[in-house]
């Protein structure tokens, strides 16, 4: 089988399972098997695949046909300009989470000194922030040791490993000290959703997606406990479900600690992000207000 035959065959196979981007996926899978860049396929259309390459191609096309996400087959994805390895031990970072990073960066005037990323998974958010803020120190947690090992590997690959401390922790359970900024994309999907979820979602770790009956279990814990881990003036940034904005406002109000809650929409117009800001408490020494993280106005 030559490269061009492989492309034709794989595209046909993927189209059968009604994939919108069958050709592109075929190119990516074949390039992965041949360990080449996608455009290189067109430089050697009559190159013949070895027996092993052909076997691997059949296997990957079959797995994709069953609904396994493309990123798990390719074992990598791109997030905010970083190449990340992904395996079924971690959630595949979504474009919305890139928007969360964008939201954090846009709203933060001075790079914070200490940043905490809760439930880091592949390390996506922590790595993107570490690259954007070369002076910041980060702590990234996950409950899964396997996820942490992968996140550490991704941090190394992206040259930021020395500034991110990876900690196995059930949200704040192993965390001490205070941070200028806390960020999290926690599991926020309702448990009931999984009975009818698209097949692809079932390949991802349930622990990274399932937020309990209302999808609020993790968000509740994070919002309730964050004030004890934030410095004055610090912010908690969250990715949330499109119908959870009001619940997040209420959870925030219950803490009595946050002075401001901002809910933001994603590019598809759905409420998707929250920023909860702590008060800048008067400093006892001189009575002046001190903020460690300052917000841009507006």
Nearer to ligand GLN, 61 or 124 (CB): 124
Residues in a beta bridge with 85: 76
Report in angstroms how near the CB of residue 230 gets to ligand GLN at its nearest: 21
- 298: CB partners within 8 A, 6+ apart: none
Q: Please enumerate, as own/partner, the contacts of 192-199 that have beta carbons within 8 Å and a separation of 24 or more.
A: 198/67, 199/66, 199/67
CA 288 to chain centre: 38
Residues in a beta bridge with 137: 114
Nearer to ligand GLN, 110 or 265 (CB): 265
Nearer to ligand GLN, 31 or 189 (CB): 189
Report in angstroms how near the CB of residue 14 gets to ligand GLN at its nearest: 22
Taking residues 147 to 186 in sequence order and writing x for each that binds ligand GLN by CB under 6 A, - otherwise, the string is --------------------------------------xx
Residues in a beta bridge with 138: 115, 164
User: Judged by CB under 6 A, how many residues of this single chain contact ligand GLN?
Assistant: 10
Nearer to ligand GLN, 187 or 227 (CB): 187
The span of 5-13, 147-155, 164-172, 187-195 binding ligand GLN (CB under 6 A) equals 187-195
Nearer to ligand GLN, 98 or 180 (CB): 98
Nearer to ligand GLN, 24 or 189 (CB): 189
DSSP state of 2: B
Report in angstroms how near the CB of residue 201 gets to ligand GLN at its nearest: 6
- 120: CB partners within 8 A, 6+ apart: 126, 140, 141, 142, 147, 148, 151, 166
Query: Which residues ranging from 46 to 85 are in contact with ligand GLN (CB under 6 A)?
Result: none
CB-CB contact of 277 with 260 (8 Å): yes
Q: Which helix (H) or strand (E) holds 76?
A: strand 76-79
Nearer to ligand GLN, 99 or 239 (CB): 239
| Alpha helices (H) along the chain | 3-16, 22-34, 51-65, 70-74, 95-107, 124-132, 145-157, 217-225, 245-255
- Angle 86-72-216 from CA coordinates, rounded to 5°: 70
Report in angstroms how near the CB of residue 208 gets to ligand GLN at its nearest: 7
Find, among 189, 142, 211, the residue nearest to 170 by Cα.
Answer: 142
Nearer to ligand GLN, 6 or 118 (CB): 118
Query: Which residues ranging from 83 to 112 are in contact with ligand GLN (CB under 6 A)?
Result: 94, 96
Report in angstroms how near the CB of residue 209 gets to ligand GLN at its nearest: 4
By the rule CB under 6 A, 188 interacts with ligand GLN: yes
Report in angstroms how near the CB of residue 199 gets to ligand GLN at its nearest: 13
* Alpha carbons 89 and 2: distance in angstroms, whole number: 34
By the rule CB under 6 A, 187 interacts with ligand GLN: yes
The structure tokens 């013949």 sit at: 48
By the rule CB under 6 A, 190 interacts with ligand GLN: no
Contact residues: ligand GLN, CB under 6 A: 94, 96, 185-189, 201, 209, 239
């Amino acid at each position: 089988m030559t490269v061009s035959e492989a492309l034709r065959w794989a595209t046909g196979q993927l189209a059968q399972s009604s994939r919108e981007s069958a050709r592109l996926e075929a190119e990516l899978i074949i390039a992965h098997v041949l360990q080449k860049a996608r455009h290189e396929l067109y430089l050697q259309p009559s190159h013949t695949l070895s027996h092993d390459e052909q076997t691997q191609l059949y296997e990957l096309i079959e797995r994709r046909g069953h609904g396994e996400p493309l990123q798990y087959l390719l074992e990598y994805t791109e997030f905010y300009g970083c190449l990340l390895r992904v395996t079924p031990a971690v959630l595949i970072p979504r474009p919305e989470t890139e928007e969360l990073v964008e939201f954090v960066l846009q709203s933060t005037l001075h790079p914070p000194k200490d940043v905490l990323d809760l439930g880091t998974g592949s390390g996506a958010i922590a790595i993107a922030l570490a690259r954007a803020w070369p002076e910041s120190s980060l702590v990234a947690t996950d409950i899964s040791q396997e996820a942490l090992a992968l996140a550490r590997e991704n941090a190394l690959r992206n040259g930021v490993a020395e500034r991110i401390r990876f900690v196995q922790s059930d949200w704040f359970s192993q965390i001490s000290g205070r941070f200028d900024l806390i960020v999290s994309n926690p599991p926020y999907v309702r448990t009931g959703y999984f009975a009818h979820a698209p097949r692809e979602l079932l390949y991802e770790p349930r622990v990274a997606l399932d937020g309990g009956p209302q999808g609020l279990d993790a968000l509740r814990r994070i919002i309730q406990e964050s004030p004890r881990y934030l410095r004055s003036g610090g912010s908690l940034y969250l990715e949330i479900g499109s119908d959870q904005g009001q619940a997040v406002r209420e959870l925030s109000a219950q803490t009595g600690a946050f002075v401001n809650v901002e809910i933001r929409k994603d590019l598809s117009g759905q409420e998707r992000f929250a920023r909860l800001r702590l008060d800048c408490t008067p400093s006892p020494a001189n009575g002046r207000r001190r903020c460690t993280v300052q917000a841009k106005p507006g």
